[in-house]
Amino acid sequence: MSSIAPTDIALIEEHIRRLIVVMGFTDTKVTCSYRTVAAQHYLHVSLIAGPAGRLLIGTHGAHLQALQHIVRALIKRQVREPVRITVDVNGYLASKERTLLHLAQEAARKAGRTGRAIVLPPMSAAARRTIHTTLAARQDVNTESLGEEPNRRVVVRPIFI
């Protein structure tokens, strides 16, 4: 698979910048970064919008998910190869991921300390995947998802060796 050319990245940035301006966010900085890992292509779009970013993020990231969907549709028209696209506003996704990593490690410690299963609150499939991936290498706990959407949750169970 070929990679996305720097000129394509600049064009993608410009299209996203225009979209954001049309939405009324004129003072927003748009930056795209591209990388390839194990033949998988990743494009990360970072928006720095200051206080107005709260409107782009929305409650629990709902507006951000919608914006990401729109950006993906826009980019798929320009890029012929499969690429995983993430959109972040004011570092919201990075902060959310740090919170999930901390939650996973804390649940694993508590499960090991108490010897009991720890049931985490309901979360999205992406958040559950982050929890499972974070704890997959640990030998002292295992994880599983239980329940039905939208109440599906991760259970962290201690393993006694």
Whether the Cβ atoms of residue 147 and residue 122 lie closer than 8 Å to each other = yes
What does each C-alpha distance from 42 to 27, 49, 124 come to in angstroms?
A: 26, 22, 21
Instruction: Return averaged pLDDT per consecutive 10 residues of the chain, 161 residues in all.
Output: 71 92 94 89 93 94 94 83 91 95 97 96 94 95 95 94 56
pLDDT score for 131: 97
Reported pTM: 0.79
pLDDT score for 82: 84
